[in-house]
């Protein structure tokens, strides 16, 4: 089985999941609707983040209490964690 995807380009953003930091609290899931889900190990993976608005996606990533979600914009600036 291939390892889970940890980086995806969504809208004009690059979103990264650091699965070594994720502790599976699920804050990003409640905030972001279908952007992320927990896999069988209880760690976040991408669901359908393209279906989530840019603002909602940023809000979901900001909600992570352990900064496991990173967002970089098209200019290379780190938007999350801020
Ligand atoms: S909020 Fe952070 S720690 Fe919690 S499931 Fe999402 S990525 Fe993992």
pLDDT in tens, 39-77: 999 999 999 999 999 999 999 999 999 999 999 999 999
Model confidence at 34, pLDDT cuts 50, 70, 90, reads confident
CA–centroid distance, 24 to ligand 1, in Å, is 5
Architecture of domain 7-80: 2-Layer Sandwich (3.30)
Point out which residues pair with 45 in neighbouring strands.
37
- Mutating to test ligand 1, I would choose from 64, 65, 81 the residue with most ligand atoms within 8 A of its C-beta, which is 64
The stretch 4-28 carries a mean pLDDT of 95
User: What's the predicted TM-score (pTM) here?
Assistant: 0.93
CA–centroid distance, 65 to ligand 1, in Å, is 7
Using the Cα atoms of residue 43, residue 20, residue 33 and residue 49 in order, give the sign of their dihedral: negative
Model confidence at 31, pLDDT cuts 50, 70, 90, reads low
Residue with tokens 């098209």: 74
Q: What percent of the chain has pLDDT over 90?
A: 84
Q: Where are the domains of the chain?
A: 7-80
Residues 6+ apart with CB under 8 A from 3: none
């Amino acid at each position: 089985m291939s390892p889970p995807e940890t980086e995806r380009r969504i809208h004009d953003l690059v979103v990264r999941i650091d699965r070594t930091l994720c502790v599976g609290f699920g804050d990003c899931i409640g905030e972001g609707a279908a952007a992320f889900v927990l896999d069988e190990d209880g760690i976040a993976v991408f669901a359908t983040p393209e279906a989530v608005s840019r603002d909602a996606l940023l809000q979901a990533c900001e909600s992570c209490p352990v900064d496991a979600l990173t967002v970089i914009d098209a200019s290379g600036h780190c938007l999350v964690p801020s």
